Amino acid sequence: MSSENQANSKQYSSAPAMQIDPQKEYTATFKMENGEQFIIKLYADKAPVTVNSFVFLARDGYFDGVTFHRVLEGFMAQGGDPTGTGRGGPGYQFNNEDSDLEFDRAGIVAMANAGRDTNGSQFFITFGPTPHLNGGYTIFGQVIKGMPTVNNIKRRDPSRNPDFPGDAIKTVTIEEI
């Protein structure tokens, strides 16, 4: 069974209990199937529920083998859906967390959703400032190393070419500082 098929089968009955310490710092190192990597600083203090869910899923291997399924030029790269369709998730949803963070630069990491308070496993990384997104999505991190890798993720629009393979995540490793 491939890692992608294993990821497809993972569903959880509810959001994870709080396992992180919002006073500590966390990073997520994304190793891509193509050998490149990038690092995200997670904002546990600003979005503890979101970071807790992301850390839980990453530590459980949920993102391993998952593609960036929607990558739009000049906008963002979206991943975290093991089905690669934009419709998959972990089996649970959680509420938005509002903060003073804004979509004011490249490398902002936020939860994708199907409307307020429908967060699951899908997230996106911006390629530049996207102020029109302020207030609608939970920002929970920032790329701190490897932005050229993020910028080079294969462009892919599943609504136009659903069979085109996107760039896949090999592993996401969480470090607590």
For residue 6, being part of any structural domain is answered with: no
Q: Is the pLDDT of residue 131 over 80?
A: yes
Q: pLDDT tens for residues 158-174?
A: 888 777 788 999 999 99
For residue 21, being part of any structural domain is answered with: no
For residue 44, being part of any structural domain is answered with: yes
Query: DSSP letter at 13?
Result: S
Average pLDDT over residues 15-23: 97
- Which amino acid would we find at residue 127? F
For residue 13, being part of any structural domain is answered with: no
* pLDDT confidence of residue 160: 82
For residue 161, being part of any structural domain is answered with: yes
Q: pLDDT tens for residues 31-85?
A: 999 999 999 999 999 999 999 999 999 999 999 999 999 999 999 999 999 998 8
Average pLDDT over residues 132-139: 97
Q: Could you list the beta-strand ranges (E) of the chain.
A: 26-32, 37-42, 70-72, 76-79, 108-111, 123-126, 139-145, 169-176
For residue 72, being part of any structural domain is answered with: yes
Query: DSSP letter at 106?
Result: T
Select the more confidently predicted residue: 151 or 7.
Answer: 151
Domain count, the chain: 1
When pLDDT is cut at 50, 70 and 90, the band that residue 5 belongs to is very low
Residue 114 structural domain: 26-176
* pLDDT confidence of residue 7: 45
For residue 15, being part of any structural domain is answered with: no
For residue 5, being part of any structural domain is answered with: no
Give the strand pairing for 76-79 and 123-126: antiparallel
Average pLDDT over residues 113-130: 97
When pLDDT is cut at 50, 70 and 90, the band that residue 6 belongs to is very low
Where residue 155 sits, what CATH number does that domain have?
A: 2.40.100.10
* pLDDT confidence of residue 9: 65
Q: pLDDT tens for residues 89-108?
A: 999 999 999 999 999 999 99
